[in-house]
Amino acid sequence: MNDPTQILDVTMQAGELLLKNGAEVFRVQQTMEIMARAYGAEDYHVYVLTNGIFATLGTQAAKLQNVPVAGTHLGRVDAVNSLSRRIAAGQVALKEASAELRRIEAIPPVRMPVQVAACGFGAAFFALIFGGGWADFACAFAAGVLLQLFLWQAEAHNLNKIITRLLGAALVTAVGGIGVALGIGQDLDKIIIGSIMPLTPGIALTMAIRDFFNSDYLSGTIRLMDALIIGLSIACGVGAVLTFAQYGLGVSL
């Protein structure tokens, strides 16, 4: 028989990894239950929220973990998923699982230059998707590259998330505005919506409603509020720069 505290620790470790890196609430819950059952835990209960996990095993052990809403790393989600398949098949001992999870947690993010390029191209291609031309592609690419560099610095300095989004949106608007003023870009609106795509909470909003449809009302509400606040901070960033350009510099973009 495995030690209850250890089972709780390992399942919690897996749940935290999944939740932090972008897995859905009910999937986190499911995975933790499957793992606990595979290790012979009886009377295991877990409750997962968007930003926290509560788990108990019988009357002997309970654990509570705060999981702040963070970035998405689907590579780690994938790795935990395949580990949980192996655990369910009885191929991984409890001790090994813990080491394996620590290894998954250490999976590095994509290298910085690649991330910068991806953000640039993501912004640029979304400018095209929304109907912009190749001139807007170039401006959005520049804005996306600078945005990722800014986000990297902001994260390194532990800048508040709302302020980060606000300044990021202001940055891409300024870059797009300069591009249009110099005659490189054509349609500022397309450049802006393309290059704020990495910041927008579209997925958060959609997943919030999906949580509602799964009756996870509390988790859905947390995500919904997150989406609203982020949306507002982005709009403030864009609005501030456009208003400044109009009244401060006298250019209407």
Map residues 6-35 to x or -, x wherever contact with other proteins holds by CB under 8 A.
----------------xxx--x--------
Q: Among residue numbers 159 through 188, which ones bind other proteins (CB under 8 A)?
A: none
Q: Is 202 in the site for other proteins (CB under 8 A)?
A: yes
What would you measure as the largest C-alpha separation in the chain, in angstroms? 75
Is residue 52 involved in binding other proteins (CB under 8 A)?
Answer: no
Distant-in-sequence contacts of 247-253, Cβ < 8 A, 24+ apart: 251/177, 251/181, 253/177, 253/180, 253/181, 253/188
Binding mask 64-93 for other proteins (x = CB under 8 A): --------xxxxxxx--xx--x--------
Task: Give the H or E element holding residue 93.
Answer: none
What's phi and psi for 23, nearest 5 deg? -80, 155
112 touching other proteins, by CB under 8 A:
no
Whether 101 contacts 80, CB under 8 Å: yes
Using CB under 8 A, list all residues that contact other proteins.
Answer: 22-24, 27, 72-78, 81-82, 85, 109-110, 114-115, 118-119, 121-122, 125-126, 128-130, 193, 196-198, 200-203, 205-210, 212-214, 227-228, 231-232, 234-236, 238-239
